[in-house]
Amino acid sequence: MAINTGDYVIAATTANGVISVREVRSGFVEGDYALGAACAGDAIETVVFCSPMNTENQIGILGLAIEDLTPVVFSDSRLSWDFTDSGFIAGGQGGAYRTYDSPSAVPSSPWSYRNGGLGLRLDWEHDNNCGTPYNPYTQRGTATATIIIQEGMSVDMTVAWDGIGEQQDTGYDVMRLYVDSALVATANAPGGGLGCSFGPVTSYPPSPQIITLGEGEHDLSITASTNDPLYHVGCWYQFDLTFDPPIV
């Protein structure tokens, strides 16, 4: 990843001092503000900026890259995720497609953070046939993140997941997990012809799975769908990531 003079850099530093660049910006974004900073024109080598923090978006401190210097930038244990959903109605969207970078950015997102941002949960809304009908749409969600491993490093990423799905038919309440566009795991409802009953999803291969990431940029992608508007009350998926050695 090229870092040029004037870029703003988000990075994470591990306990042993290794720095992983997580994001490079060519300028400010709306909402950034200066923290004890001087203007670049004042001949200060490193100008530090901080982005507004809350429990969903603690993206850390931004530093200005000057010539060959890339500042050490502190960050909490939160991956930078991007989300989509469609077919949901609790936020008043009537099933419309939405894209956003934090669950707090939209009303009633089905996505939520776990374990300090190293995990996610996806909750399906009540279906259209079990009990009082609620949501008449097929519900879908995606979550994507970019993981950057420093040059010369190799990291083992463990992905663990579980979920609850319908016990009527298999092939519904499905999930697919990809790393660098390669399919790592699938899961789906257990089925069983039991009507409005719900139980642990069936996964192949079983959770957890360990993926070795070499230096450079890697993409993690989760896609999930109810595949129909029926038989999902209190159903969900959740995911947790761990890294050895830690990168965030």
CATH number, residue 90: 2.60.120
Domain residues for 54? 8-64
Do 50 and 88 lie in one domain? The reply is: no
pLDDT tens per residue across span 27-82: 555 444 333 333 233 333 333 333 333 323 333 333 434 343 333 333 333 357 88
Do 135 and 105 lie in one domain? The reply is: yes
When pLDDT is cut at 50, 70 and 90, the band that residue 245 belongs to is confident
The β-bridge relationship of strands 198-200 and 98-100 is unpaired
| CA distances, 52 to each of 56, 59, 83 (Å) | 11, 8, 20
- Residue 241 pLDDT > 70, yes or no? yes
Final residue belonging to a domain, choices 17, 34, 64:
64
List the one residue out of 234, 224, 200, 199 whose CA is nearest residue 126: 234
Q: Are 80 and 146 in contact (CB under 8 A)?
A: yes
pTM of the predicted model over 0.85: no
User: How would you classify residue 190: left for phi > 0, otherwise alpha for psi between -120 and 50, otherwise beta?
Assistant: alpha
CA distance 110 to 238: 11
The verdict on residue 131 lying in a domain is yes
Do 103 and 38 lie in one domain? The reply is: no
pLDDT tens per residue across span 102-123: 888 899 999 998 877 788 999 9
**pLDDT over 70, % of the chain:** 66
List the one residue out of 192, 199, 83, 87 whose CA is nearest residue 138: 87
The partner residues of 106 in beta bridges, in order of sequence, read: none
Do 108 and 201 lie in one domain? The reply is: yes
The verdict on residue 176 lying in a domain is yes
